[in-house]
Structure 1
């Protein structure tokens, strides 16, 4: 069992989401930075689809009531582990990102504020056994499906470890500094914009707005002019879609995006760039480039 002592600004349980329900109006959700959650699970010998915890801007503390292997990935932040006196006489000790480590029973894992990036992931061997809703343990901030965002006092059960493979990975290279470069594929509605609008999107930096969240990253910068008036009928949306509302400033859809939308999509991020977009924090600058 894991007890949340402090969740930080925003923390949720996430796995790889609930695909296959968009026709019912249910978003996929899941980890915003999917590669980081997959890596954390591999480091502790879990299936990549196991549920972990997604923290936004760190500032969290967890108490492990039973000993467990854990790993932390994503936005790099200072880590600390306060061990019970009976476990290690030396008391507190630093832990490393992107490597498995043992948390003894009664130990407290602390996450500081990330040096860069936004979202940090904690995986524990056995996975977080939050209730399953439509095949997923993920918290969906848009629809409200899944467990509630974590709060002080939340108790998270940990799954069994008997059937898991041994831990064979000692560590992984830590993520390099984010470049803020987002590669995109044009369309499907780039014809709704004036000639050169895609070049305008890719010409200058955009600043991430404070109104961003797990639904989407709102950008501030050069307006993208339309060639057509009115709006589209609602149509399917995918994670990474760069939608342009009437303001002309793009929004990059993330994990909790709505399944449909009526604003034209000028481009779509490549899968590799989607994880980078999920790590952008308010005030960061990003540039779009054609893939």
Structure 2
């Protein structure tokens, strides 16, 4: 068991998410910075997709109430691997840069899965509850050896790759070019649902309402105020605003680590994203 002494701003359990339930209105959830979560699991010997803790801006304090285990911190904090003795405390400090830190413990966080995933969805609150002070989190049995070496993390992106979306014709002909030519600012209300950007409003060519339709991960939806939103892991499965573009899935991890006020740029990709 892990005992949560202080939960911090927002701490949730995340794995690879629950893909395949959008037709029932259930978002996928899962770690926003998946490469960081996967790295943390590899460092402690867990299989891919083992459940980890995702915490925002530090402040998480835990006590190990079981045998000693390996633990790893990645993302905004780390990478750092340590032996966590029985009865010892682990504190996640506020990171100097970035937003989300991932804590993997050998054996993985073994909360009860819901619809095949242990991820917390913060939109519909499917899955385990958010982690709170005093919570006890079960751990699974360690199954692998720690991996002390790994490939370097992908460097900071200069711009997010994007392709035209299915409703680009709802905007002015140069809207996608303007989206890519603008330096956008991350808004304070960004969350696991979407990275909300502020800048010169994007002009529509068509008015009126668009019927609700399916949304893909990374869709750049533009509401009537003209300020784009990049949909992340907890995005709704449907939406009623036009989608101007779609961010390449391999670049979405970078959105997980952007703070309010950070600058974001986009660039057109030569081919449609896959994955």
TM-score interval, normalised by the smaller of the two chains: over 0.9
> How far 1:231 sits from its partner (Å)?
2.2
Aligned to 1:72: 73
Q: How many residues align?
A: 268
Aligned to 2:259: 281
The alignment status of 1:256 with 2:234, answered yes or no, reads yes
The equivalences for 1:32-47 within 5 A come to 32-47=32-47
Contact between 1:98 and 1:174, CA under 8 Å: does it hold in 2? no
Counterparts of 1:231 and 1:37 in 2: how far apart (Å)? 39
Counterparts of 1:35 and 1:271 in 2: how far apart (Å)? 12
Give CA deviations for 1:120-163 in whole Å, capped at 9, x if unaligned.
100011000111111111111001111111111111000012xx
Aligned to 2:98: 117
Could you state the TM-score of these two structures normalised by the residue count of structure 2?
Answer: 0.94
Instruction: Kindly report structure 1 stretches of 4+ aligned residues shifted beyond 4 Å.
Output: 173-177
**Structure 2: gaps spanning 5 or more residues:** 270-275
The alignment status of 1:178 with 2:178, answered yes or no, reads no
Aligned to 2:221: 243
Provide the aligned C-alpha RMSD in A.
1.4
Could you state the TM-score of these two structures normalised by the residue count of structure 1?
Answer: 0.89
Give CA deviations for 1:230-284 in whole Å, capped at 9, x if unaligned.
1221111111110000000000111100001111111111112100011111111
The counterpart of 1:267, out of the listed 239, 245, 265, is: 245
The alignment status of 1:209 with 2:187, answered yes or no, reads yes
Counterparts of 2:15 and 2:265 in 1: how far apart (Å)? 29
Counterparts of 1:65 and 1:122 in 2: how far apart (Å)? 16
Counterparts of 2:218 and 2:95 in 1: how far apart (Å)? 24
Aligned to 1:63: 63
**Structure 1: gaps spanning 5 or more residues:** 77-96
The equivalences for 1:190-205 within 5 A come to 190-205=168-183
